[in-house]
Structure 1
Amino acid sequence: MLHAFLHITVPGLYALAFHRPHWRRVWAVLASALLLDLDHLWATPFYDPDRCSINFHTFHTYWAIGGYVLLLLPACTRIWAVGFLLHMVLDYTECWPRGIYLP
């Protein structure tokens, strides 16, 4: 439950810190990065509390993360890229207690 709460509050804090004049709109885009979790729908089992999402689910692979980094380059996709990358960082923190670290 804390993990889901962080997926909403961390983007809000980022939006407040770096995009104060338009923080609500930026927060909405950043929070929309939760759409990346649609790839959990075709996982078997659908939910596994002991599974690390990073490099397991389609939109959480290292290749996808590389694509999100490339999305930082055009200004028109930068906020989406930040949202996707924040999502990956938050999901990665769930892997630490399981002893899973980046290679």
Structure 2
Amino acid sequence: MLQNFTHYFLHFIAIGGIAYLYDKTNWKMYWLILVATMLVDVDHVLADPIFQPQRCSINFHLLHTYYAITIYCLGAILIKHKIVRLICIGLCFHMFTDKIDCLWNNFG
């Protein structure tokens, strides 16, 4: 139960803090953008079974591969466009959150 709480807290609440730190005046819009980055989980529908509670998403699903994560991280560092950079930051944080789940499943 604590694992699920932590996972969804990071996916929905913690990103509000990221949005606020990113831009205090537009944080609500940026929070919505960060929530939208969870659409990266669309790649889960390609898996069989679609949902498996103990499966680690990192390097299993197409948009969760180390190649994709590298692109997200480079985008967060190198891209100057504020919205695109925020999307990359959101994708990086999403992968961080999913990695915490992987660690929790393996060591928890």
TM-score, structure 1 normalization: 0.89
* Partner residue, 1:92: 99
1:30 aligns with 34
Give matches, 1:14-93, under 5 Å: 14-72=18-76, 73-76=78-81, 77-93=84-100
- Normalising by structure 2, we get a TM-score of 0.85
The C-alpha deviation readout for 1:36-79, integer Å capped at 9, x for no partner, is: 00000110001001100000000000000011012121122210
SS in 1 for 2:26: helix
Structure 2: gaps of 5 or more residues: none
Taking only aligned residues, the RMSD between alpha carbons, in angstroms, comes to 1.4
Write the letter of the residue equivalent to 1:79.
L
Measured after TM superposition, the shift of residue 5 of structure 1 is: 3.9
CA–CA distance in structure 2, aligned partners of residues 11 and 28 of structure 1: 9
Query: Partners of 1:54 and 1:41 in 2: how far apart?
Result: 15
Work out the CA distance in 1 between the residues paired with 2:42 and 2:74: 21
How much does 1:6 deviate?
A: 2.6
Number of equivalenced pairs: 100
1-side partners of 2:74 and 2:21: how far apart?
23
Structure 1: how far apart are the matches of 2:33 and 2:105?
30
